[in-house]
Amino acid sequence: DAGITQSPRYKITETGRQVTLMCHQTWSHSYMFWYRQDLGHGLRLIYYSAAADITDKGEVPDGYVVSRSKTENFPLTLESATRSQTSVYFCASSADRRDTEAFFGQGTRLTVV
Amino acid sequence: KNQVEQSPQSLIILEGKNCTLQCNYTVSPFSNLRWYKQDTGRGPVSLTIMTFSENTKSNGRYTATLDADTKQSSLHITASQLSDSASYICVVTLNNAGNMLTFGGGTRLMVKP
């Protein structure tokens, strides 16, 4: 299907476990982003990627790892999940130019117990 | 610090009425300002994008305004419908590499019959 999709939609994991959230887009957008959304905060940028094999930290990168071996995929890994990482995670993509629209996935609700 | 402040935090209106949501920002250097609609449990969806030189943009019943001098924006919703119930998020794009977006905390709108 065309668009940007995230998986899983919901995930419950235990403290200390590694978990990977997947993001796939079909537009060949250069830029991809990972955000987290928590009550009382606007969306906060975790990591972004300007192209395949190019990634950079955002506002809240600690505890997260990303990779981008292919343009269409941008997985986010929590190396050792903590309760403070319980959140809703959104992936987004946009074309090269900064004035183009960013498209968001439907989100992954992660609960760390 | 780059910030985007929205008001009110929440708003309840009756179906058919108009409303205006406010956004003040201190983001610099400025590239563009976006308004997103986020339904519960979904990712944000773009309503409007305005660059520095634009001071108004409409999308159906949604009209956004931008005053770059005072760093203020508003989103006006005309003849509200029940489906307008959602969070509305003001987002400012930094004029830098990476298309960094700074998100406001959102205004939660509830339209009642």
Cα separation of B71 and B77, whole Å? 20
What is the β-pairing status of strands A108-112 and A10-13? parallel
Say yes or no: A34 contacts chain B, CB-CB below 8 A. no
Segment A26-41, tens digit of pLDDT: 999 999 999 999 987 8
Nearest C-alpha of chain B: how many angstroms from A79?
Answer: 25
Q: Are A90 and B41 within 8 A, CB to CB?
A: no
Q: Which two tokens stand for residue A29?
A: 């957008």
Nearest C-alpha of chain A: how many angstroms from B42?
Answer: 5
- Residue A104 makes CB contacts below 8 A (sequence gap 6+) with A4, A90, A91, A92, B43, B44, B45
pLDDT at B27: 83
Residue A4 neighbours by CB distance under 10 Å = 24
Nearest C-alpha of chain B: how many angstroms from A82?
Answer: 23
Say yes or no: A56 contacts chain B, CB-CB below 8 A. yes
Residue B80 neighbours by CB distance under 10 Å = 20
**A40: chain B residues, CB-CB within 8 Å:** 105
- Residue A37 makes CB contacts below 8 A (sequence gap 6+) with A43, A44, A87, A88, A89, A90, A107
Whether residue A98 has pLDDT greater than 90: no
Q: Pick the closest to residue B30 from B90, B74, B83 (CA basis).
A: B90
Cα separation of A109 and A67, whole Å? 20
Residues from B contacting A (CB-CB < 8 Å) are 4, 31-32, 34, 41-46, 49, 51, 89, 93, 95, 97-106
pLDDT at B93: 87
Cα separation of B32 and B97, whole Å? 14
Query: In the block, which residue shows the tokens 């993509």?
Result: A93
Segment B44-103, tens digit of pLDDT: 999 999 988 899 999 999 999 999 899 999 999 999 999 999 999 999 988 876 667 889
Query: In the block, which residue shows the tokens 């770059």?
Result: B68
Q: Are B93 and A31 within 8 A, CB to CB?
A: no
Whether residue B104 has pLDDT greater than 70: yes
State percent of chain A over pLDDT 90.
Answer: 84
